Structure 1
Amino acid sequence: MMASVQDTPLVRALSERHGMPVLDTPAAAALGLVVVFVPGHARPHLETPDIAAVLPDLLRAAQTLLPSGTPLRGAVADAAMEAELCARIDGLNLPALVLLHDGVPVGMIPRMRDWDEYGRLFRGLLSPYSNAGQKDVSA
Structure 2
Amino acid sequence: MTHPLVDRLTTEFGWPRLENQADLDAFTQAPGTHVVFVPGDAARNLETPDVAVVLPELHMAFQRAFDCAVCGDSIETALREATGVLKTPSLIFFRDGAALGGIARVRDWDDYIARIPRFLAAPEAAE
The TM-score with structure 1 as length reference comes to 0.76
1:30-41 alignment, distance < 5 Å: 31=30, 32-41=32-41
**Counterpart check, 1:82 vs 2:82:** no
What residue in structure 2 maps to residue 100 of structure 1?
Answer: 94
In angstroms, what is the RMSD of aligned CA positions? 2.2
In the alignment, the residues of structure 2 paired with residue 107 and residue 92 of structure 1 have an alpha-carbon distance, to the nearest angstrom, of: 11
What residue in structure 2 maps to residue 127 of structure 1?
Answer: 121
> How far off its partner does 1:50 sit?
0.3
Q: Is the 8 A contact 1:39 1:48 kept in 2?
A: yes
In the alignment, the residues of structure 2 paired with residue 43 and residue 92 of structure 1 have an alpha-carbon distance, to the nearest angstrom, of: 18
Aligned length: 119
Query: Structure 1 vs Structure 2: percent identity of aligned residues?
Result: 39
What residue in structure 2 maps to residue 46 of structure 1?
Answer: 46
> How far off its partner does 1:28 sit?
3.0
Per the alignment, do residues 44 and 116 of structure 1 end up closer, same or farther by CA in structure 2, a change over 3 Å counting? same
Q: Is the 8 A contact 1:41 1:82 kept in 2?
A: no
In the alignment, the residues of structure 1 paired with residue 42 and residue 110 of structure 2 have an alpha-carbon distance, to the nearest angstrom, of: 29
**Counterpart check, 1:13 vs 2:8:** yes
Unpaired runs of 5+ in structure 1?
Answer: 65-70, 130-139
The TM-score with structure 2 as length reference comes to 0.82
> How far off its partner does 1:127 sit?
1.5
Superposition misfits of 4+ residues, deviation over 3 angstroms: none
What residue in structure 2 maps to residue 115 of structure 1?
Answer: 109
Per the alignment, do residues 83 and 23 of structure 1 end up closer, same or farther by CA in structure 2, a change over 3 Å counting? same
